[in-house]
Homo-oligomer: A and B are copies of this chain.
Amino acid sequence: MSESALDGLVDALRRLPGVGLKSAQRMAFHLLQHDRDGAMRLSLALSGAVTRMRHCRRCHTFTEAEICSTCLDTERDPRLLCVVETPADQAALERSGSFKGLYFVLMGRLSPLDGVGTGDIGAAALLERACDGVVSEVILATSFTAEGEVTAHALSEALKARGLKVTRLARGVPVGSELEYVDLGTIAHALVDRR
């Protein structure tokens, strides 16, 4: 493996999240030996995405247009704004089919240990977006992890200070789970928030 184009490919693959040296070597070998079409397709997909994908001016998600199709959808209720961490989280909510408002995608979450502050997750853009005079309720749908909770807390404070109604996704027992196997924290929250 001492040839430069191959080394360059292995190095570039190693920059992908979750890919170490061995995986990168295996990927490079697979692409060159068994899937050169796939390699060229990936090459074009990468350059195409980098060139064409930008952030929606309203909700900050990835889009090829100035404003994404979700934000332009007039069927949606513009009074509800749901804040998520990533486009994948937004997709998960959309799959549930139970939300018909608009979104704001943070493209990250607060993570002081990694040096990710409010400036990095577009908090200012969210405040501006939420204070458009139409939005009446902001639903914080960040993850229920330590970092997601910190993010939700910080955003909640800032949004409430501007007089907006702020809600959070309900915590509780997941659908389809047996109580015996649910963790204590979840059970405690489900008890407190019982209805």
A47 touches B53 (CB 8 A): no
**Would you call A3 an interface residue if the criterion is a C-beta within 8 Å of the partner chain's C-beta atoms?**
yes
Taking CB atoms, residues of chain B closer than 8 Å to A44 are: 12, 43
Q: Which of A22-30, A147-155, A168-176, A177-185 contacts B (4 or more CB under 8 A)?
A: A22-30
- The CB with the most chain B CB atoms within 10 A, among A6, A13, A44, is that of A6
CB of B48 within 8 A of CB of A5, answer yes
Q: Chain A: interface residue count, which band?
A: 35 or more
A50 touches B45 (CB 8 A): no
Q: Given the complex, which residues of B lie within 8 Å of A13, measured CB to CB?
A: 42, 45
Contact B43 A5 (CB under 8 A): no
Q: Does A52 contact B (CB under 8 A)?
A: yes
Known: A41-B12, A41-B15, A43-B43. A49 touches B27 (CB 8 A): no
Kindly state the separation between the CA atoms of A91 and B3 in the bound complex, as whole angstroms. Answer: 12
A17 CB to closest chain B CB (Å) equals 5
Contact across chains for B50 and A43 when beta carbons are under 8 A apart = yes
Contact B11 A45 (CB under 8 A): yes
- Mask, A32-73, CB within 8 Å of B = 1, is 110110111111111111101100000000111000111000
Residue ranges of A at the interface with B (Cβ–Cβ < 8 Å): 1-6, 8-9, 11-13, 15-18, 22-23, 25-33, 35-36, 38-50, 52-53, 62-64, 68-70, 86-88, 90-91, 107-108
The 10 A-B pairs at the shortest CB distance, nearest first, are namely A43-B46, A12-B45, A12-B42, A15-B38, A9-B49, A43-B47, A9-B45, A5-B52, A5-B49, A8-B45
